[in-house]
Structure 1
Amino acid sequence: MSDTLADGVGLHVIEQFVDAEQQRHAGQLGMWAWLVTELLLFAGLFLVATVLRVQYPESVHLAVSHLKFWIGATNTGVLIVSSLTMSGAIQASRLGLQRLTVYCMYATAALGTLFILLKLYEWYDDIVEHMAPWLNQPYELAFDKPSTLFTNLYWVTTGLHGLHLTTGVTILMVLALQARAEGYLSRHQNRIEVFGLYWHFIDLIWIIVFPMLYVIGR
């Protein structure tokens, strides 16, 4: 069974759905439901960071002053641009522009990879500077106990975000390779739209993480 998108791209409809619109909404609803649970997870980390800032502002300032602001700011710009290229992939897929869709997906994956590489460099630098309390090595701010909590929170939050981003890049590369096949957009265009929600979610979370960890209290 097949149906047609409003902008003219044919879409294969699985038998349990009445039409393409219902199938699209079901896929997006499923992704939104999962993203809400992920948002609750990050919200708990943001709440802990807020409590630490309120109760121990000086300790948080000490910890934040050791973070690499320029890397955090650069990665923020990288993810914002990646959201634009992901939006380009979605729009191109709606129009049936297969080659442009694939190129935009590759560009998005490349930007995501750049983010990961910068973050790995930052983590390496943090370890070299003894800003990893969870390792069996001296901690630079050992004289200030509350800073240990904030620094560990930094590692957990950025590590969790990095895991989501790595997963996203992997899935995106698989989708990009699949999208090169003839007729892919006519059968599975909805997959690109649903994945776009996930990618924009990763971007949104980092836009909150950046000021929460790198800016406020600096």
Structure 2
Amino acid sequence: MNGIDRPIVEQFVNEPQRRQAVQLGIWLFLATEIMMFGTLVFVATYYRTLHGAAISEAVAHLHYLLAATNSALLLGSSLAISLALVAANRGREHVAIRCILIAAALATGFICLKGYEYASEYQEHLLPFQSDNALAEGPARLYMGIYMVATSLHGIHVLVAIVLALTLSLRIHIGRLKLPQRVLVIEAFALYWHVVDVIWILLFPTLYLLGRPL
């Protein structure tokens, strides 16, 4: 026993049962995340039906081209994670590490671009906590609050994904996570990554595109 290839612990009868338990656990966790962001999407959509004109004022100020670029970055990161999982299943550890690090780099680009977007909105006096807010309508300022909550929560999830990616890459590199024996860990990580990306794909049109003046 070298601490790397751990046996199936007593609470599992066999490896398929262990895999099923891990997958059920990660899906239950991800379901709570989807419900949380789904609520924010519902609130933003419903609020727009109540105050369409005021919301259009706020949406017109959002930098949708930056958000579209961020969408491309996250989609690229999802592709890299999918390739990492394929490599992990084949025991190609160096390829898996490389793909995971590429995904982390793309996600870091997402965070940097989002930070630049927040800075631009601050300079334009659009953020809800600014006393000299440029938005005339109260509903428009409240919508910016919803926007800030949704995008900052998502940003935190992206940061967590980056930390997990770097940690897993290090563990694979030093031999603490052998592949393909421990590929279930990569599968759970990939599920989390993909769900975080899918959440952004829902947030992008909801916050940036719906209600935008033509």
TM-score higher than 0.5 here?
Answer: yes
User: Which residue is 2:173 aligned to?
Assistant: 180
Aligned-pair CA distance for 1:134: 1.7
User: Which residue is 1:163 aligned to?
Assistant: 156
User: Which residue is 1:151 aligned to?
Assistant: 144
Q: TM-score, normalised by structure 1?
A: 0.91
Stretches of structure 1 lacking an aligned partner (at least 5 in a row): 2-10
Q: Is the 8 A contact 2:78 2:197 kept in 1?
A: yes
Aligned to 2:205, what secondary structure does the other structure show?
helix
Q: TM-score, normalised by structure 2?
A: 0.92
Does residue 1:202 correspond to 2:196, yes or no?
A: yes
1:69-118 CA distance string (max 9 Å, x none): 11100011111111110011111101111110100100111111000000
Q: Is the 8 A contact 2:104 2:165 kept in 1?
A: yes
May I ask how many residue pairs the two structures share in their alignment?
207
Q: Which amino acid aligns with 1:121?
A: Y
Aligned to 2:97, what secondary structure does the other structure show?
helix
Deviates more, 1:23-32 or 1:108-117: 23-32
- Of 161, 185, 207, which aligns to 1:191? 185
Q: Is the 8 A contact 1:13 1:20 kept in 2?
A: no
Q: Is the 8 A contact 2:81 2:100 kept in 1?
A: yes
* Identical pairs, percent: 39
User: Which residue is 1:5 aligned to?
Assistant: none
Deviates more, 1:157-166 or 1:20-29: 20-29
Q: Which amino acid aligns with 1:145?
A: G
Q: Hey, what's the Cα distance between the residues in 2 that align with 1:94 and 1:22?
A: 19
Q: Hey, what's the Cα distance between the residues in 2 that align with 1:18 and 1:112?
A: 38
Matched ranges for 1:19-34 at <5 A:
19-34=14-29
User: Which residue is 1:42 aligned to?
Assistant: 37
Q: Hey, what's the Cα distance between the residues in 2 that align with 1:186 and 1:114?
A: 29
Aligned to 2:182, what secondary structure does the other structure show?
helix
Q: Hey, what's the Cα distance between the residues in 1 that align with 2:151 and 2:128?
A: 15
1:1-59 CA distance string (max 9 Å, x none): 9xxxxxxxxx7443232333222221111010011111111111111111111111111
RMSD value over aligned CA atoms?
Answer: 1.5
Aligned to 2:102, what secondary structure does the other structure show?
helix
Aligned-pair CA distance for 1:66: 0.6
Q: Hey, what's the Cα distance between the residues in 2 that align with 1:13 and 1:81?
A: 35
Q: Is the 8 A contact 2:68 2:204 kept in 1?
A: yes
Q: Hey, what's the Cα distance between the residues in 2 that align with 1:147 and 1:25?
A: 46
Aligned-pair CA distance for 1:188: 2.5
Q: Which amino acid aligns with 1:87?
A: S
Stretches of structure 2 lacking an aligned partner (at least 5 in a row): none
Q: Following superposition, which runs of at least 4 residues in structure 1 exceed 6 angstroms of deviation? A: none
